[in-house]
A and B are shown apart, each in its own frame.
Chain A
Amino acid sequence: MTPSRFASTKTLFIIWVVLIVSTLITAYIGYLELSGYYFVGFILLMVMLKGQLIIDHYMGLKNVRGFWRLAMLGFVYVIPGIIFTGYYLSSV
């Protein structure tokens, strides 16, 4: 196994903090019951960020070539993109 596959413990901890903080921001938006496609877009952007961090650093796919990483990233970008489109179209 190459040493580049998994992040250092410090990186893993920083990523955990980012994931928790973005979850709390999402929760606060939910607590305030804010609606509208600006907030939907913002929350879904955070979903994309969180997804990429998990795929690259926790799953260890950052340096994996080809199909599998792209397919995983496709999920965290395409699905939130479709969700946003659906919410946007239903709010206009």
Chain B
Amino acid sequence: MSAREGSAREGSVSERSVIENKIVANKDPLPGDLAIWFVIMAEMLVFGVFFIVYVFVRSNNVELFNEYQLELHRIGGVINTIALITSSYFVALSIHAVRLGNIQRTGNMLLLALLMGAVFVGVKIWEYSHVFGAGIHLSTNTFYSFYISLTFFHFMHVMLGMIILGIIYYYLRKGKYSSEEHQDLETGASYWHMVDLLWIVLFPLVYIIR
């Protein structure tokens, strides 16, 4: 191999490694703390198993599930879906704002997200008050066992997510976060989006499809 060929090959290898480095550099790191992604994965696996068991049990009780599903307050479910989607939107806007260093807007978006979370909680408590007020409980029938346990388990996650967002808002007001340093905010946002994602599967499964 001539010196010229060798030099050309070296040039080609170096060019390729520059391109590969650029590809790697163009990929984003995982938002937030790595630990939250293990939590998210574990939560999604638990809910995933729960959903599959629901479908399996339903397949042996189709008429019962179809009959009692019609008793649920679907408008409440729709309002809650809109509330959670809108809340996720505000959280995404808060991340966008903090990246630009606009702390005031970040705080406002977090407050709006919390407000939408409160709408979800309010509607859910109203829905539960009707269900429990009608004398329905976990052992009423198989459908209600799933409805109450699935939605209440998710409701607990909404409450935890709101506490996390509240703490983040508190530290934001204390001046802890900036456009360069806001990993906690991304961590909390990732958890909140997971809560939204779970509801997006849960809502049609329990309230709509038959």
Contact = CB atoms under 8 A, between A and B. Distances in A.
Interface of A: 1-2, 4-9, 12-13, 15-16, 19-20, 23-24, 26-27, 29-31, 33, 35, 39-40, 43-44, 47, 50-51, 54-55, 57-65, 68, 71-72, 75-76, 78-80, 82-83, 86-87, 89-91
B210 interface: yes
Contacts of A64: 27-31
Contact of A9 (B78, B93, B200): B93
B55 to A, nearest CB: 3
Interface stretch (B81-89, B130-138, B144-152, B159-167): B81-89
B44 interface: yes
B28 A12 contact: no
A59 B37 CA distance: 11
B31 A60 contact: yes
A8 B201 CA distance: 26
| Secondary structure dominating the interface of A | helix
A22 to B, nearest CB: 9
Contact of B31 (A9, A59, A71): A59
Contacts of B31: 5, 59-61, 64
Given A79-B51, A87-B209, A65 B58 contact: no
A83 B30 CA distance: 29
Contact of A57 (B91, B92, B200): B92
A80 B51 CA distance: 9
A86 B58 contact: yes
Given A8-B96, A64-B31, 8 more contacts: A12-B89, A27-B208, A33-B70, A43-B204, A54-B200, A64-B27, A82-B52, A83-B52
Q: Considering residues B70, B85, B95, which has the most beta carbons from chain A within 10 angstroms of its beta carbon?
A: B85
Interface in B93-109: 93, 95-96, 99
Contact of A58 (B25, B77, B89): B89
A30 B77 CA distance: 11
A90 B49 CA distance: 19
B207 interface: yes
B201 A47 contact: yes
Contact of B96 (A6, A89, A90): A6
Interface string B188-210: 01100100110011011101111
Contacts of A24: 78
Contacts of B208: 26-27, 29-30, 43
B132 to A, nearest CB: 23
Contact of B58 (A57, A63, A68, A90): A90
Nearest to A8: B96
Contacts of A12: 89, 92-93, 96
B66 A35 contact: yes
